[in-house]
Amino acid sequence: MYNQRSNQHDKNPVRVFVILTFGLILFLASGQLFGQPDYGETFYVKENTRTRKPIKYVHEREADIMWSKRVWRTIDLREKFNHPLYFPETPTNARLSLFDVIKKGLIEGSIYAYDNPVFDDEFKVRMTAAQVAQLFTWYDSTNMVADPYNPDNMILAPIQYNLTANMIKQYWVKEDWFWDRQRSVMDVRIIGICPLQEKTDASGEVIGYKPLFWLYFPSCRDLFARHEVFNTKNDAQRLSFDDVFHKRMFGSYVRKESNVYDRTIESYAPGLDALLEADRVKEDIFKTEHDMWHF
């Protein structure tokens, strides 16, 4: 009688469910304890940069702006000074290139890209997620290969291409220089940034650069402030991408200034004359700042 009741008790479905659940918990716990450990990037938890906020701008009143000049610049990532914005070409756990950060923000939806048919930089038309996805991945539908079942016939075999960071060699930057009479300083605000894709011919020769989209820079500052830039002097004190732009730690040259014709420097001063004209624009800004002071 005792053995019969014991066997009936062991067949209780509630008890069987509890035993199975407890066994599953132990199995999962053993996998976390004895499985592959989750190693960190370093021996301490890095929270300084990844939880940072962008440096706040000083509030400006229109009445305090005595003078301003809009300037468009080109940042060439082939310059050694700009390599921290270009590398690493392949994303790592520790660092991302500037374009990989931008790509990550667009996919997440934390920032937005702007474009329109004439491709201006006034941030009028926001690109949809599908349009952005087409920029990152596209197909060559004209590729033909031999049919494996009938070698005498050719069939279509589309090739998928992905836009990677090593294809981005330049950036355009739109910024405003102004004189604040309340603080008596010449200051600058970056308005927009545009990545340029390198274009090559069939032989692999570079034939130019293709602008992809514009980003409204103030809306990107939160994202840029949370990603590190390599510091050649100290790995423990790395800057963020927002620091690089805020502190002007990049090399560039002027490609356009605000003018009545709305034309770029290259359209009227090609070659070496374009570099001289770009230096003239920078010199004019410096002289304007100097002339604001009275000695």
pLDDT digits (tens, 9 = 90+) for 55-77: 899 999 999 999 999 999 999 99
| pLDDT score at 1 | 47
Judge whether 208 lies within some domain: yes
Q: Note the pLDDT of residue 36.
A: 53
**Mean pLDDT, rounded, for 75-80:** 96
pLDDT value at position 46? Answer: 74
Mean pLDDT score, 13-36: 58
pLDDT confidence of residue 39: 59
- The arithmetic mean of pLDDT across residues 101-105, rounded, is 96
Which of 27-41, 97-111, 215-229, 230-244 shows the lowest per-residue confidence on average (mean pLDDT)? 27-41
Determine, yes or no, domain membership for 3.
no
* Residue 177: predicted pLDDT: 97
Residue 144 lies in a domain: no
Q: 278 phi and psi, to 5 degrees?
A: -65, -40
In this prediction, residue 86 carries a pLDDT of 97
Number of domains in the chain: 1
**pLDDT value of residue 34:** 46
For residue range 241-287, what is the model confidence (pLDDT) as tens digits? 999 999 999 999 999 999 999 999 999 999 999 999 999 999 999 99
Give the mean model confidence (pLDDT) for residues 91-114.
Answer: 93
Q: Which one is predicted more confidently, 201 or 71?
A: 71
Report, as an integer, the average pLDDT of 192-212: 90
pLDDT (average), residues 105-111: 95
What's the pLDDT tens digit per position in 45-54? 777 777 889 9
Among 118-122, 214-218, 246-250, the minimum mean pLDDT is found in: 118-122
CB atoms under 10 Å from CB of 97, counted, come to: 26
pLDDT band at 14 (very low <50, low <70, confident <90, very high): low
pLDDT at 24: 60
pTM above 0.85, yes or no: no
Looking at per-residue confidence, does 53 or 43 come out higher? 53
Please indicate, yes or no, if residue 159 is contained in any of the structural domains. Answer: no
The percent of residues in the chain predicted with pLDDT above 90, rounded, is: 58
Q: Is the pLDDT of residue 13 over 80?
A: no
pLDDT over threshold 50, residue 2: no
- Determine the pLDDT at residue 197: 94
> Is the pLDDT at 141 greater than 80, yes or no?
no
pLDDT of amino acid 241 = 96
Task: Answer yes or no: is 145 within a domain.
Answer: no
Answer yes or no: is 223 within a domain.
Answer: yes
What's the token pair of residue 252? Answer: 């560039």
Asked if residue 127 belongs to a domain, the reply is: no
Q: What is the mean pLDDT of the chain?
A: 85
Range of the domain at 64: 12-119+166-291
The pLDDT value recorded for residue 171 is 97
Q: Does 1 map to a domain?
A: no
For residue 33, pLDDT beyond 60: no
